[in-house]
Chains A and B, each alone.
Chain A
Amino acid sequence: MSDGGDNGRPEPRDSRGERPESVLQRRLTLADMLDVGTFNELVKGFADLYKLGIQVFDEKGNRLAYIKVGNGDFCGYVFSFPEGQRCCTQTVARVKGGPLATTQNARAPQSAAGTKLHGMITVPCFTGLRYLVLPILWEGDVLGRVVFGPFTPEEMGELPTSLTDLTPGIDLAMAQSYLSKIRRAPESTIVKVLLHFAQLLETLVAAGQKTYLTSQVHIEATLESNRDLEAQNRRLEQMNVQLKDMDRLKSSFLATVSHELRTPLTSIIGYSEMLAEGLVGSLNQEQTEYVRTIMDKGDTLLKLISSILDVTQIEAGKVRLTFEPVTVGDLIASAITSVRPQAQKKGLTIDMKLPGRKVEARADREKLRQVMVNLLSNAVKFTPKGGWVQVLVTEVKFQPEIDADGWRFVVQDSGVGIPADQLEKIFQSFYQVDNSSTREFGGAGLGLAIVKSYVEGHGGVVRVQSELGQGSRFEVILPVSPPPPRAVISPPLSEAPPSPPERF
């Protein structure tokens, strides 16, 4: 597709499947816009108030509301005669489903002059009663109809022959007494009541339409946002997989290159050593100095390459720790020895403070030594001439950071310090606080990444505090009993947590 992820736009619609038709494209029915339960209560209140039967139908003839008032006995009695039943059924069908026009026995209602009738019709019943029918108009559509009645017209006297002829043997007194329960009023009055009802209905439909459309559009918009987010997630996942592949490639490339560099470098250092020791004839003082420089620089390079190899090993998940009893004092003394020459060159003092008795820890000797060497060489590197470096080891006690008993190994210095906003980043591989080409301090930015991985491999954590210009304090908190060695130490990059197993 032409507009993929790189420009941040969502994918075109077709790639995300069909979307159901929006409610805005659909023709709404009366039932969509009215809350039928509430509407029935309102109709009932209205019917009771005006003592009139009310029915409301949608455009397909489904009844949405039906309240009978007063006519039950009379209509029931008429219905008990066979012809009465036939004519009654016919009238009801006319009222409910017949055309909303003055045809098929319907006529225009009697009303006060100038009344706007909005398409209302009168449908007379053969009993002399009457119905009024009003179309429900909405945005130019007929959505249904309201039926008022039956009611007794004010002017009606005796029961008409259209009834008595069809119902031989009808008890007129009884019929009249039933009839008296039905609302008697001038037609024009009922017309007014119906028009009032229509106004009320219009307000209800308007409010209902608003609620219905907005809630539906809100749902559609939410689904739409959701589809966008899903598409974006898929793109991010793909990118993540690509990035991980690239990262693995990088590590593997570094491992190969470092290894290939180390082999010739070892020869360079070896041959320089032989030259310096005069194995192939004596050198003058200047020559010896040059050769020693070659050796020194070669050593620096070898250390760097070893660090890169360590990191690539960690990143490739190939590092395995072996725990054994380690005498902490010896280990720290040995680490100090390896940085002593650089410290002496800068005139730095290095102290060591250990707990009184001989302390023995369970650790991977080589890796823990590497941790201390890396921390110490940083301290020496970043402390200006005449400063100090101190190594402390505390007594075993409860360490909240690891929620277990353990030691704190502290390396602190009076060096340049680390800016507060960089404290989080210094443990990342290849990160340098000063990344400029003219920076004062060398290094590849791997030492602390290695420290973090190794310490975490021991079940411990590294903490740092620093103040610019005052110095830095690194604390390695190690548990007394390290966890059973895992097959691998995870790389210092944070990985996404594994997804929980699927429940169904």
Chain B
Amino acid sequence: MQLNHAQRELTVKVVYYGPGLSGKTTNLQMIHARTAAEGRGKLLTVETHDDRTLFFDLLPVFFHTKGGYTVKVKLFTVPGQVIHNATRRVVLQNADAVAFIADSRRSAGQENNSYWNNLQDNMRENGLNAAQVPIVIQFNKRDLPDTKTDAELEETRARGKEPVIGAVAIRGEGVLETLFAVLQLAYRKMDEQAGLTRNLGLSEAEFLKLVFARMDVDGTQVRDWLAAGGGPR
């Protein structure tokens, strides 16, 4: 989080982390597609010819608060290939929250674990306290054969404190839900650190409402969560 009172600007950094080809870039592309142009920047993406992310992707989403603050949410992805660990660590620096994009297929279990450990290692390397940086787990590719059952997802959820969300990112399912969950936790962490409610007059509900104000939330759970207050487990 970068909070600049002089410029009245709050910058939030969310990093999409996970194994190669798990759908991190697809998540950003879907958010980009669902957000009105006034509320976002261009999607910066550098891919190789085989659709692998070479450095990172960046999608900025921004809005203005009633109190006159500009809030910028910067969504980054890391490159998934093993050899790009140094880039992953650079991109992960100062992250406020992480969306961990896992592949739901049973065959990907080992990859998921290895990147989960890699995330913990790189957080520690960056001086981030893994206990204090909230993480949301997205189980992507729920439509493919060999995918874990809902009961198995429940098991994963029960094993940790991170919210777990199923997704088919390529069809946009679960993408905004994941963004909602990760921003909700990011807000709570920042509020604890910098008192956003007190100092910026920005409540959690207001923050989430403004982020999604320019996004098309039709047909997603986000619409209900925004209306009723609440969020994923």
Chain A residues with CB under 8 Å of chain B are 3, 9-10, 12-14, 22, 24-25, 138-141, 206, 209-210, 213-214, 217-218, 220-222, 224-225, 228
Say whether B86 contacts A139, CB under 8 Å.
Answer: no
Q: 5 additional contacts, CB 8 Å, given A140-B62, A221-B87, A222-B86?
A: A10-B121, A139-B41, A217-B55, A221-B86, A224-B90
Q: How far is the CB of B152 from chain A (nearest CB, A)?
A: 30
Task: Indicate whether B171 reaches chain A with its CB closer than 8 angstroms.
Answer: no
**Nearest B residue to A228, CB-CB:** B86
Q: Complex: how many Å from CA A461 to CA B124?
A: 52
Say whether A24 contacts B91, CB under 8 Å.
Answer: yes
Q: Complex: how many Å from CA A311 to CA B84?
A: 47
Q: Which of B20-79 contact A (CB under 8 A)?
A: 41-42, 44, 46, 54-56, 58, 60, 62, 70, 72, 74, 76
**Nearest B residue to A10, CB-CB:** B125
- SS class of chain A's interface: helix, strand, loop or mixed? helix
Interface residues in B, total, Cβ within 8 A: 28
Say whether A140 contacts B70, CB under 8 Å.
Answer: yes
Residues of A within 8 A of B127 (CB): 12-14
Say whether A217 contacts B91, CB under 8 Å.
Answer: yes
Chain B residues with CB under 8 Å of chain A are 2, 41-42, 44, 46, 54-56, 58, 60, 62, 70, 72, 74, 76, 84, 86-87, 89-91, 93-94, 121, 124-127
Residues of A within 8 A of B60 (CB): 139-140
Q: Complex: how many Å from CA A221 to CA B44?
A: 18
Contacts between the two chains (Cβ within 8 Å), count: 67
Residues of B within 8 A of A24 (CB): 56, 58, 74, 76, 90-91, 93
Assess A221 versus B84: contact at CB under 8 Å? Given A25-B2, A139-B60, A214-B55.
yes
Most chain A C-beta atoms within 10 Å of own C-beta, residue among B41, B90, B121: B90
Say whether B121 contacts A140, CB under 8 Å.
Answer: no
Residues of A within 8 A of B42 (CB): 206
Say whether A209 contacts B56, CB under 8 Å.
Answer: no
Residues of B within 8 A of A210 (CB): 44, 46
Q: Complex: how many Å from CA A214 to CA B76?
A: 13
**Nearest A residue to B87, CB-CB:** A221
Residues of B within 8 A of A14 (CB): 127
Q: Complex: how many Å from CA A12 to CA B72?
A: 30
22 CB-based A-B contacts, threshold 8 Å: A9-B121, A10-B125, A13-B125, A13-B127, A22-B90, A22-B93, A24-B58, A25-B2, A138-B41, A141-B70, A206-B42, A213-B44, A213-B58, A217-B55, A217-B56, A217-B87, A217-B91, A218-B55, A221-B55, A221-B87, A222-B86, A224-B89
Residues of A within 8 A of B72 (CB): 139-140
Say whether B94 contacts A214, CB under 8 Å.
Answer: no
Q: Complex: how many Å from CA A238 to CA B44?
A: 44
